[in-house]
Chain A
Amino acid sequence: GAVVSQHPSRVICKSGTSVKIECRSLDFQATTMFWYRQFPKQSLMLMATSNEGSKATYEQGVEKDKFLINHASLTLSTLTVTSAHPEDSSFYICSARVIRLAGTDTQYFGPGTRLTVL
Chain B
Amino acid sequence: DQQVKQNSPSLSVQEGRISILNCDYTNSMFDYFLWYKKYPAEGPTFLISISSIKDKNEDGRFTVFLNKSAKHLSLHIVPSQPGDSAVYFCAASQYGNKLVFGAGTILRVKS
Tell me the A residues contacting B by CB distance below 8 Å.
2, 4, 6, 34, 42-44, 46, 49, 91, 93, 95, 103-112, 114
Contacts and interface: CB of A to CB of B under 8 A. Distances in A.
Given A103-B53, A104-B49, 16 more contacts: A6-B43, A34-B99, A43-B102, A46-B99, A93-B44, A103-B95, A104-B51, A105-B32, A105-B95, A106-B46, A106-B49, A107-B99, A109-B43, A109-B44, A109-B45, A109-B46
Contacts of A95: 43
Contact of A49 (B42, B53, B98): B98
Contacts of B89: 43-44
What secondary structure prevails in chain B residues at the interface with A? loop
Nearest to B48: A106
Contacts of A34: 98-99
Contacts of A46: 98-99
A110 B44 CA distance: 8
A54 B49 CA distance: 29
B21 to A, nearest CB: 14
A110 B51 CA distance: 23
- Among A34, A91, A107, A112, the most chain B Cβ lie within 10 Å of the Cβ of A107
Contact of B34 (A42, A106, A111): A106
Contacts of A107: 34, 46, 99
12 contacts: A43-B89, A43-B104, A46-B98, A95-B43, A103-B32, A104-B49, A105-B95, A106-B46, A107-B99, A109-B45, A110-B43, A112-B43
Contacts of B31: 103
Contacts of A104: 32, 49, 51
B59 to A, nearest CB: 13
Contacts of A108: 46
Nearest to B53: A103
A105 B93 contact: yes
Contacts of B46: 2, 106-109
Interface string B33-45: 0101000011111
